[in-house]
Structure 1
Amino acid sequence: MTPADTVSFRHNQAILVAAIVAFIGALPLATARWWLSWVLLLPLAVAVWAWRAGTDADPRELRLRAVAGQRRIAWDRVAELVTDPRGRVAARLDDGQQVLLPAVRAADLPRLVAATGQELPDPNR
């Protein structure tokens, strides 16, 4: 398996830029008093989340990445992929559990399915 076989879905990197701007903007407040230094943790946490969180898919499995860890789900455990009214994608597993796929939107479904090595049926047929 090569990295080229892996399809990655990440949140928009503008979130990371906004977190950096918020961190810089919070510096005067955080340095005004020592007990306000905790204010810097919020933009830092958002930056780490934006950089790390997402979904990686390859022909063998899904990897759901969070700030502090990851979860691997083999494709043979996925019964179906579903969308919600907000356009987010979830995987319904064979045991009935539904797992939200971070950073995957409904428009990304063709790329996600292509990562499995399968194709979506043509709706025009």
Structure 2
Amino acid sequence: MSSSGTVHFRHNQAILAAAIIAFIGALPLAGARWYLLPVLLVPLAVGVWAWRAGTDADARELRLRALLGQRRISWDRVVGLAADPRGRAVAQLDDGQLVPLPAVRGRDLPRLVSATGQDLPGTAG
């Protein structure tokens, strides 16, 4: 779902560029022997992760995207947002679980909250 009210957070795209360069650099090695072909999977996986992983937020839910899957969390379950000591954003759920939000920094929390269209109690940033 990519409505205009959705806010997207992604990792720095320099990671994707580095993965492409690493893939091209690994081609001669992988082409030397057939059993070295799996070497290409490492930069390929990093590239797909850099392109796909992150957090999407809209008025209904948070969508946490990873390399191979995603997790949806309704805003009803979120009781607080904060930054951890390293500056990464985390969401506290109603069951007490702390969920790290991929690609969201503490300074991005106001933009994340604006996607909900409302104020969330316990928001820090």
TM-score (norm 1): 0.91
Which string of whole-angstrom CA distances, capped at 9 and with x for unpartnered residues, describes residues 10-53 of structure 1? 00111001000000000111111111111100000000000110
Counterpart of 2:77, as a letter, is R
* SS of structure 2 residue aligned to 1:103: strand
* SS of structure 2 residue aligned to 1:5: coil
Moved over 6 A (4+): none
Partner of 1:91: 91
How many residue pairs are counted as aligned between the two chains? 120
d(CA) in 2 for partners of 1:44, 1:117: 37
Q: What is the CA-CA distance between 1:84 and the residue it aligns to?
A: 1.0
Which runs of 5 or more residues in structure 1 are unaligned? 121-125
Counterpart of 1:104, as a letter, is V
Which runs of 5 or more residues in structure 2 are unaligned? 121-125
d(CA) in 2 for partners of 1:2, 1:47: 22
Counterpart of 2:7, as a letter, is V
Counterpart of 1:59, as a letter, is A
Counterpart of 2:73, as a letter, is I
Where in structure 2 are the equivalents of 1:20-99 lying within 5 Å? 20-99=20-99
Partner of 1:117: 117
In structure 2, relative to structure 1, the CA distance for the partners of 1:39 and 1:2 (3 Å cut) is closer
Counterpart of 1:83, as a letter, is A
Q: What is the CA-CA distance between 1:118 and the residue it aligns to?
A: 2.4
Q: What is the CA-CA distance between 1:2 and the residue it aligns to?
A: 6.5
Percentage of identical aligned residues: 75
* SS of structure 1 residue aligned to 2:4: helix
Counterpart of 1:13, as a letter, is Q
Where in structure 2 are the equivalents of 1:8-27 lying within 5 Å? 8-27=8-27
Counterpart of 2:10, as a letter, is R
Q: What is the CA-CA distance between 1:86 and the residue it aligns to?
A: 1.1
d(CA) in 2 for partners of 1:107, 1:98: 18
d(CA) in 1 for partners of 2:48, 2:82: 28
